[in-house]
Structure 1
Amino acid sequence: MKVLVVGGGGREHAIIWKLAQSPQQPKLYCAPGNPGIAQLATCVNISAEDVQALADFAEAEGIELTVVGPEAALLLGIVDEFEKRGLRIYGPRKGAALIEGSKAFAKEVMAIANVPTAASAYFGELEAAKEYVRAQGAPIVIKADGLAAGKGVVVAHTIAEADAAIDLMMKDKAFGDSGKQVVVEEFLSGQEATVMAFISGDTVKLMAPAQDHKPAYDGDQGPNTGGMGTYSPVPVVDEALLAAVEEKIIRPVIYFLANNGSQYKGTLYVGLMLTADGPKVIEFNARFGDPETQVVLPRLETDLLDIFNATIDGTLEELAVTWSDRAAVCVIMAAGGYPADYRKGDLITGLDQASDEAVIFHAGTKQSEAGITTNGGRVLGVTGFGADLKTAQEAAYRTVEQVHFADVHYRKDIAEKAFR
Structure 2
Amino acid sequence: MNELDINNAQLPDFIVPGADARKDEPIKIKVVGVGGGGGNAVNYMYRQNIQGVSLALCNTDPQAMSDSLVPIKVAIGDEGAGGEPEEGKRLAEEYEQKDGRISALFEDETRMVFITAGMGGGTGTGAGPVVARIAKEKGMLTVGIVTIPFLFEGEPKILQAFAGVEEMRKHVDALLVINNERLCKIYPDLSWTNAFSKADDALANAARSIAELVSKNGKINLDFADVRTTLKNGGAAVISTGEGEGEHRMSKAIQNALISPLLKESDIYDSERVLFNLYFSPEESDELRIEESKELSAFMTRFKKRVKVIWGYTHDSSLGKKVKITILATGFEVSDLTFKGEYGGDADEHIAQSQYIVLRPDQLDNNELIDKLENAPAYDRPKDFRDNFEGGEKQRHEESGSSRRSIKF
Instruction: Determine if the TM-score, normalized by the shorter chain, exceeds 0.5.
Output: no
Give the TM-score band, short-chain normalised. under 0.3
Query: Which has the larger share of strand?
Result: 1
What is the TM-score with the length of structure 1 in the denominator?
Answer: 0.24
Query: Which has the larger share of helix?
Result: 2
